[in-house]
Structure 1
Amino acid sequence: MTLSLFDQFMSPLLWGVPLIAVAIALPWLLFPTPPKRWLNNRMLGAQGQFISKFVSELLSPINPAGHKWAVLFTSLVLYLITLNMLGLLPYTFTPTTQLSLNLGFAVPLWLATVIIGMRNQPTHALGHLLPEGTPTLLIPVLIIIETISLFIRPLALGVRLTANLTAGHLLIHLISMATFVMLPLMPAVAILTSALMLLLTLLEIAVAMIQAYVFVLLLSLYLQENI
């Protein structure tokens, strides 16, 4: 029996082994590998079309120096979308509802963009901490505020992904519980609630895809600032 609504977000154990490791490794097994022949099937064609469209949209505003990150960004967005979508299936676990995992993605990638900026153009990178034309009295305050906003970026990335997925899963769980409770008492209301839960599930599918895209998009913006 579930003691708390948040127990569903705890990593399940099997024989003492956390199943989050299995959930993290599973997405790589689901994507088909293109064959060596020229003729592909429709799934591979759709997959290639999606990757091509995503890369062109994501890297169009970035300088050519940042196009080296195309493979990393594409792999990350496909990985996050798969993790988020698999978590919507019954009797599954969503690893991206764990803040530790999302911070494990966000912190190294954000730090890589900062290091690139400090190495290639340190003056421009440090110039973001102090806007041009700032009054003398506000310089120390603005430097502190901009420094805090810089270091809070990876936390915001991880919390945004965690909060959006957790809220959607909790809402679906609450509405499903209400549907089962009202089914013997008010069947008509229960049917309407079931229809609402179906629409909410469709919305959660869209959120799972959008949040993965937003995560990678913000990383690309951080990269653009440091190139």
Structure 2
Amino acid sequence: MMSNLFDQFASPTFFGVHLIVIAIIMPWLLFPTPSDQWITNRLITSQNWFLKSFTKQIFTPISLQGQKWVMILTPLMVFLLGMNLLGLLPYTFTPTTQLSLNMGLAIPLWLATIFIGLRNQPTASLAHLLPEGTPTPLIPILIVIETISLIIRPLALGVRLTANLTAGHLLIQLISLATSNLISSSLILASLTFSTLVLLTLLEIAVAMIQAYVYVLLLSLYLQENT
């Protein structure tokens, strides 16, 4: 019995093993590896189509140098998508509701894009800190503002994913508790709240997919600026 609604976001342990470890490993086990057979099954065909479509959409605007990141961002999309969707199943744990995990993914990848830009095109990378045509008196202020906006990018990535998933899980928890409590008193109200719960679950499935896509899309935009 949970004493706090936020207890669902604390990683439980089973025989001394944190379930967050199992939840992080599960997406890699569920996605089948590509087959070298002439005829593949529907699951692998659908998976290959998804990976090709996603890679083409994300990396088409990026230069050839930035397209080397396809082996990083595409698996990251699959990883986040798998964890977000698996976290909606009953009696599971969602690692992407942990800010530490999201920041641990965002900060190294964001820093990598910054270092690539400073190494390959330092002038263009530093030029992003000062918009063209800025009046002279505003130059120091705009440089400070643009620097702050650059630094908070990984924080925005991590907080966005964490906040959206946490809010959705809390709403599902609250409505499910209301449904279970109303069954004994009013079946009509219980049916209405259950219908709301079903619609909210469908919405959360869409949010889980969209947030994984937005996370990787923003990283690709940062990469595009520095390549």
Q: TM-score range by the shorter chain?
A: over 0.9
Identity of aligned residues (%): 64
* Cα deviations by residue, 1:154-201 (Å, 9 ceiling, x for unpaired): 000000000000000000000001111111111101101101100110
Residue 192 of structure 2 corresponds to residue 192 of structure 1: yes
CA distance in 2, matches of 1:62, 1:35: 29
| Deviates most, 30-39 or 122-131 | 30-39
Report SS of the residue matched to 1:92: coil
Alignment of 1:68-217 (within 5 A): 68-217=68-217
Deviation at 1:17, TM superposition (A): 2.8
The number of residue pairs the alignment matches comes to 227
Equivalent residue number for residue 43 of structure 2: 43
Equivalent residue number for residue 56 of structure 1: 56
Question: What residue ranges of structure 2 are gaps of 5+ in the alignment?
Answer: none
Give the structure-1-normalised TM-score.
0.98
Give the structure-2-normalised TM-score.
0.98
Amino acid at match of 2:152: I
Residue 63 of structure 2 corresponds to residue 66 of structure 1: no
Amino acid at match of 2:212: A
Residue 219 of structure 2 corresponds to residue 219 of structure 1: yes
CA distance in 2, matches of 1:3, 1:184: 22
Deviation at 1:65, TM superposition (A): 1.6
CA distance in 2, matches of 1:202, 1:65: 39
CA distance in 1, matches of 2:154, 2:35: 38
C-alpha RMSD of matched pairs (Å): 0.9
| Deviates most, 27-36 or 75-84 | 27-36
CA distance in 2, matches of 1:136, 1:33: 57
Amino acid at match of 1:94: T
CA distance in 2, matches of 1:128, 1:183: 58
Equivalent residue number for residue 8 of structure 2: 8
Deviation at 1:4, TM superposition (A): 0.8
Deviation at 1:34, TM superposition (A): 2.1
Report SS of the residue matched to 1:64: coil
CA distance in 2, matches of 1:175, 1:28: 31
Report SS of the residue matched to 1:20: helix
Report SS of the residue matched to 2:65: helix
Amino acid at match of 1:95: P
